[in-house]
Structure 1
Amino acid sequence: MRTYNTSFFCVKMQQALSSVSVLFVCSGLLKGLTARTSGACSSHSVELMIDFCVSMWQIVPADLDSAAVSDVEAARVGLRPVRDWRAFSLQGYPGFIFISNLFLLGSQSYWVRQCLKTYPQKTNICNLDMHMSPSDTKDIWGKSVHALSSPTGKKEPKTHLERLRWVTLGYHYKWDTKTYSANSYTPFPADLHLLSLQVTAACGFPGFNSEAGILNYYRPDSSLGIHVDESELDHTRPLLSFSWLQEDIFLHILAFRICLNIEHCNPLTGGDMMLMSGQSRLLYHAVPRILPAPQGHTTLEMEGCSLTLSLQGDAVVELVSEEDWALCSRYIHNSRVNVTVRQVLGPGQNFPETPSPLQRTDTGFVHSNGFKSAIKRRKLFSANYL
């Protein structure tokens, strides 16, 4: 049974704990979890064992529209038939859907390769643009190949790829003003749009238009602070979140109700995703910690890059070369990639001429370790966000 120190969840929450419902949710088979609090909340501990297939914890199957996406359409983007997906929702969180067993065996390697090699290319924007010249960030993958392919065993400077923290797609999110604008746009990747289109259609949202995306690249010391995705002008359209590689802890907060969703790499599945719509679309959420793979190797590493189906002529996914996969495998051994896809504008909507910045409601990434890490993580969960 695993033990996770959750002291960073408890700052200024001691009085509220009596009314807090805490729920650890694992994707797939029954998992044992022990969560122990310390510091201000040392008298409280939670020990839970939860199975997604059992409804005793208010985890219920989510209805999907298998007729909305044909098996052929699903396979084009590397998805299993919709009838084979494992979809769940949480009572009390309308609009939240968690899906596992989503991808065909071997197809995730294509999407990981896209996230590491293709999507960071110009003219998309990334965090390295703030510190490096355009020539240095033009080909992040190419500048990292040699160092990642031939490690010397000595401590060396991080490669461009290892320093990558975020990439924005489509309408580029402005971190300082928390807004989008019409004059900061590059074409949204067609393959990622088609993937999102099929998933949203199966979840009851046909005609989804992928207009903006944020890729987050997590290293072992990375966190994502509590925030709410409210910058999009149309909140009736869902927010999609695809995750690959290492596990993470996903935290939903609504008043004094807390849902901790631990995305656990199941040896049989992988590539879990979440869809947030309706009331859940505007919930505060965070990624407070990245967890190591349970067996020392991620599901994707063991799965490899060999597709189990013969690719059709119009397939979007493609075989990943052994050379590319070798580099991907080295990167993903201790990293995680998350892709969120959003529709920014509703039908007939346009950007305001002078957008007003939203009040800042996120605390961004945390890259630290040891004692300072604990302090910074505590700051992420202050009572201001409850």
Structure 2
Amino acid sequence: MYHNIDISPFKNKKTALVLSGGVVKAASWHLGVALALEEMGFVLKHNKSPHDVDHEISTYVGSSAGSLINLYFASGFKPIDIIDATINRKNAQTSLKAITYADMLSRKMPARHPFNFDFYNPFEGFPPLLKQMAKPLLSISGLFSTEGLNQYMQKNVIISQAFEDYASDLFVVATQLDHSRKVIFGKYNYPSPIHDSTAEYYTGVDVSLAVSASMSVPPFYAPFPIKNPRTSQVDFYIDGEIRETLSNHVAVDNKCELIISSWTHTPYHYHDEIGSLINYGLPAICMQAIYLMIQKKIVESRSKNILAKDVIDTVNDYMSSQNFSVKDRTKITSILERKLNYNPNIKFIDIHPDHSHYKLFFTNSFSLDPQKSKYIMTAGYKKTLEVFKKLE
């Protein structure tokens, strides 16, 4: 027990850490969260971590930046070492090399076929001058590519390209560009989840390629190519959270009992000190729009779980009042749990910024500035302690 926080209720629970995307900002927040979890007594499982521990995080589910942070943990890097490399850069005591802008901003783009204007012309009917100005947009698939990050992972992070070689259960979520399919890369070939028949588990893909695909946020990053292990054709992938934010169902599929989720997409709420976002231009307005959409998806997911519990409890209360036998009540409850995709034995814990953390909203998502990273890490660290303290 650390910080006088009791985590004994979670003893020997199969635990998952689910990390969202959000570029550097989210990565910094996740590191603060993980450091607090470790100090409270949770062990981040890797190939050399101790066995037979009471509070082990053995499942990692990540999208975009969250997939990279989880890869660090699965490869044996401790949160404090990643933080040291991130903040102190060349003066860090750890041997881990920090990510640089050169890693993030690679211009090595995937091959493309010639554009067919006869089939698709998004500027049809536009004035000639506007057509000419917009035409260069059709020749690019993104400003940069994640190939530099792929090379960084191969040189500095991974212990193997095979998911099977990791002692922990590592899952990486990405979205197929040319299909309405979410793909979960990992070592297990589970069936599609009940709530989303278009989501599929893929095995046999290199770890660094899967993470690179998951981090390919359009339009900043171009879609990332991966050879499909089933068809041998090349599929292109974009950010893992396009279809669904926080793939908690992956942890559920992996039979986890405690699911800790970390995310940073908290929309801005009006503060007199700041005023309206209308005063801060298009970047702030677009970010707010994105955060609102993402938060809505998270809230809907949580609401479904709460509603399922409420329905089952209501039916149980009615059966009890009508003197249903224990056998019948148990059978009906089991059917409802299966139909509503609800498991009463799973505990969900969300760690995210409050609306009062408006300074975090305005922090540049792509900035590698050590002081900004430190501020976000500290916020994630404190919030984690606060959340677990309230659970006591």
Q: When the two structures are superposed, what TM-score results if normalisation uses the length of structure 1?
A: 0.22
Structure with greater helix percent? 2
Structure with greater strand percent? 1
Bigger radius of gyration among the two: 2
